[in-house]
Amino acid sequence: VQLVESGGGLVQPGGSLRLSCKASGGISLVYVMGWYRQVPDNGGRELVATITTTDVIQYGDFVNGRFIISRDGAKNTVNLEMNNLEPGDTGVYYCHFRNWREYWGQGTQVNVYW
């Protein structure tokens, strides 16, 4: 499975960004897809949001209603709409795909600064 990420960049606090991830190659009928992130000084990757092929959604505790994950099953694409971004959201965001194996994207940088 190959994952191609898009989106990310620089935004001011309170702004919005949209991340997208498209999966291709050997896609199973059942999978979980979503985003994790690694923020500075916080060790490993933490859950941002995931969505299953039955539209079960899970968000990280820090999201607090600010982010919305959605998917286009026909295109094997997951989108993450991030609103009201804070400086603490700065980090590298990784697309994640899991069926009987797990796959990671290369990561896309999100910077939230004045």
Cα atoms found within 13 Å of the Cα of residue 101, Cβ hemisphere only: 7
CB atoms within 10 A of CB 65: 8
pLDDT of residue 42: 77
Mean pLDDT of successive 10-residue segments in the chain (114 residues)? 96 98 90 95 91 97 97 95 97 96 96 95
From residue 40, give the alpha-carbon distance in Å to each of 58, 82, 90: 23, 19, 8
pLDDT of residue 28: 84
pLDDT of residue 112: 97
pLDDT of residue 53: 95
